[in-house]
Amino acid sequence: MKEKIIIIVGPTAVGKTNLSLSLAKKFNGEIISGDSMQIYKGLDIGTAKATNDERKEVTHYLIDEIDPSENYTVADFKSKAKKLIHDITAKGKVPIIVGGTGLYIESLLYNVSHGGQAEPNLTYRNSLEAFAEQNGKDKLWEKLQSIDPKAAESIHYNNTRRVIRALEVYHSTGQLFSSLQMEKSEKEKLYDAYVVGLTTDRSLLYERINQRVDLMLQQGLIEEVETLLETVPITAQSVKGIGYKEFIPYFENCIDLESATEQIKQNSRRYAKRQLTWFRNRLEISSWWDLVQVPEQQKELENKIENFLRM
């Protein structure tokens, strides 16, 4: 019998943390973070981690586990999350996976590798980033198109990070990235999962994102980034997260604080749009909910989850 899990996905600032805490308390659950940045120690404000008080109320995993100088891969997440799901279930509790990193959620639910077996090749990655800067994102995408047309078809040329990863996987393993993407269609779900999708009106979501960035600045985001940059190089994976990388030109006196802040807001809004597209196209969502505009619907959602857990 497959282990039962609850998964909560949705764009940034849509209310995933609040819902996860509420469901964990109601259904005797423990929370596994499915966020690629919350794993890092010290990256608290910019990643919108659950607070210490919230983590005392409900047990959380895969938060504050590694140093910002370390790399963290899809394969690392899968390995840790699978063991945690088994351990949490064995205790008679409900595993609740929460996150906005669609790559992680999909790889766990369908056992898709996404080239996870390919270790990061930072030298090659940096060379591709330099190529994109000098020649443009479209030229980098054309590199991928010449090697792996199927992968290029599914990755927008503006998604430089994903284009680079596809090229990196081929460079390191000789395998086409597109062949790894086909694994999802060839394998069934590993878990009996109820997947909750959170969304809301786009203009309202963007307003919430802007407000969240302003709040992060009030909470001390600049000091958090400054501390991070004192301890790790700007090439570190942790520094490349939204809310961190935008401050590099600010600290180098190339842009002012207002410009850096606007860049964070813009990048966050774009990321939210990509998240929604990913979840809609690549995951089988059990039900979609707008708890921002219709919070009273949470009771109906809880009833559906209760029925799911009883089955």
The pLDDT assigned to 178 comes to 80
- The fold adopted by the segment(s) 122-174 is Histone, subunit A (1.10.20)
Tell me, what's the pLDDT at 186? 56
Residues of the chain with CATH 1.10.20.140: 122-174
Mean pLDDT of 22-48: 97
CATH 3.40.50.300 intervals, the chain:
4-115+192-310
Contact assessment for residue 204 and residue 293, using Cβ atoms and an 8 Å cutoff: yes
Averaged pLDDT, 2-14: 97
Place of tokens 């030298």: 123
Q: What is the pLDDT of residue 251?
A: 95
Identify whether the C-beta of residue 305 lies closer than 8 Å to the C-beta of residue 6.
Answer: yes
Tell me: the pLDDT tens digits for 177-226? 887 665 545 557 899 999 999 999 999 999 999 999 999 999 999 999 99
Q: Is 59 annotated as a binding residue?
A: no
Percent of the chain with pLDDT strictly greater than 70: 94
Residue-wise pLDDT for 73-89, tens only, equals 888 999 999 999 999 99
Task: Examine the pLDDT at 70 and tell me if it is beyond 90.
Answer: yes
Any binding-site annotation on 197?
no
Among 116, 117, 118, 143, residue whose Cα is nearest residue 129: 143
Average pLDDT, the chain: 91
CB atoms near residue 308 (< 10 Å): 15
Q: Is 199 annotated as a binding residue?
A: no
Band of the pLDDT at 116, cuts 50, 70, 90? Answer: very low
Predicted pLDDT at 245: 95
CA distance 78 to 282: 17
Alpha-carbon 269 to chain mean position = 14
Q: Is there a binding annotation on residue 13? A: yes
What is the per-residue pLDDT for 8? 98
CA distances from 274 to 11, 85, 197, 281, 299 (A): 8, 27, 14, 11, 29
Summarised one tens digit per residue, pLDDT across range 271-293 is 999 899 889 888 899 999 999 99
Structure tokens at 57: 């109320």
89 is in an annotated binding site: no
Q: Is 99 labeled as ligand-binding?
A: no
Task: Consult the annotation and say whether 16 binds a ligand.
Answer: yes
Residue 156 banded pLDDT, cuts 50, 70, 90: confident
12 marked among binding-site residues: yes
Is pLDDT above 70 for 30? yes
As a residue count, the chain comes to 311
Q: Does domain 4-115+192-310 have CATH number 3.40.50.300?
A: yes
Average pLDDT over residues 133-154: 91
Per-residue confidence (pLDDT) for residue 120, from 0 to 100: 60
